[in-house]
Amino acid sequence: MFLEMVGGIKLKAKKSLGQNFLIDNNIIKRISDSISAGENDLIIEIGPGMGALTKYLKDKNAYLICYEIDEDLKNYLNSLNDSKTQIIYNDILKSDIKNDIKNINYNNLYIVGNLPYYITTPIIKCLISMDLDIKEMVFMVQEEVADRFTAKEKHKEYGSITLYLKYYFDLYKLFNVSKKCFQPIPKVDSAVIKLIKRNTKINVDKNKYFKLIEDSFKMKRKTLKNNLNNYDFNKVSEVLAKYNLNENVRAEEISEEVFVDICNNL
């Protein structure tokens, strides 16, 4: 699928880079409106593409840094550079964001993007690992992924990634987006999610907790007891009993509060 001509260059959307460009201005505006950044804040946009969302973000007059891997999009993006906006042509997964933003004197950090779907989870994990003190993130992701990220216990989409993200953020699914709002049209529908930094930290050993939830959901159809066969299950059972849960419970039925309690009892 060829996109419009810019500067005499005919561009082909690159499937391998997850290039499905938003063409619905109503949706683009809704995403931008979901970011509550002001003049003294910093917004990082991941994958600006042809700048559809970038143009709305610029109206907030915040500092804006955009990471785009595809230098062929320079013809669309370079004109957006100004004293508060910078386009960096680099792989977000290989970027040293802390270094790139070190000279900007901002209040709060916001991250936004219509993400390339082939690396949604790696991008979010990479951002978290950088310890950037992110206030809010707003992302367009595959609808199924949005459901998984924001699921509540006792729902089939609930899993270790939900609990991992919940450790850092309050998670919200904002709205669905039809595949018809993109060009080229992707195979799946999408949704916009918002992750807001948690006010209160969970009182638990982080690494031990992440290992516990990873192990608990290892085989989704198995019971917790089967998945945790390397653990002292008597200690797990003590906590389960406190919450009236029996030994045949599955991980997807267990809330964050109970997992934290189990972890602190091990």
SS3 content of the chain, % helix, strand, coil (to 5): 40, 25, 35
Could you tell me the end-to-end alpha-carbon distance of the chain, in angstroms, rounded to an integer? Answer: 55
Minimum CB–partner distance for residue 3 and ligand SAM (Å): 10
Identify the bridge partners of residue 142 per DSSP, sorted by sequence position: 190
Stretch binding ligand SAM (CB under 6 A), from 111-119, 126-134, 213-221, 244-252: 111-119
Q: At 11, which amino acid appears? A: L
Q: Based on CB atoms, which residue is closest to ligand SAM, 53 or 191?
A: 53
Q: Which residue's Cβ has the minimum distance to ligand SAM? A: 47
Stretch binding ligand SAM (CB under 6 A), from 15-23, 78-86, 141-149, 234-242: 15-23
Among 35, 42, 64, 92, binds ligand SAM (CB under 6 A): 92
Q: Where are the alpha helices (DSSP H) in 102-220?
A: 120-129, 143-149, 160-168, 206-216
Q: Based on CB atoms, which residue is closest to ligand SAM, 56 or 172?
A: 56
Whether a cis peptide bond, with omega within 30° of 0, leads into 122 is: no
Minimum CB–partner distance for residue 251 and ligand SAM (Å): 31
Select from 133, 120, 110, 144 the least CA-distant residue to 33.
110
- Count the Cβ atoms, other than its own, within 10 Å of residue 70: 18
Q: Does 193 bind ligand SAM (CB under 6 A)?
A: no
- Taking the C-alpha atoms of residue 38 and residue 54, their distance in angstroms, rounded to an integer, is 15
Residue written as token pair 């005499």: 8
Q: Based on CB atoms, which residue is closest to ligand SAM, 92 or 145?
A: 92
Q: Does 85 bind ligand SAM (CB under 6 A)?
A: no
String marking each residue 112-141 x if it binds ligand SAM according to CB under 6 A:
--x-x--x----------------------
Size of the site for ligand SAM (CB under 6 A): 22
Q: Are 137 and 194 spatial neighbours (Cβ–Cβ below 8 Å)?
A: yes
String marking each residue 203-222 x if it binds ligand SAM according to CB under 6 A:
--------------------
Using CB under 6 A, list all residues that contact ligand SAM.
Answer: 17-22, 46-49, 52-53, 67-70, 91-93, 114, 116, 119
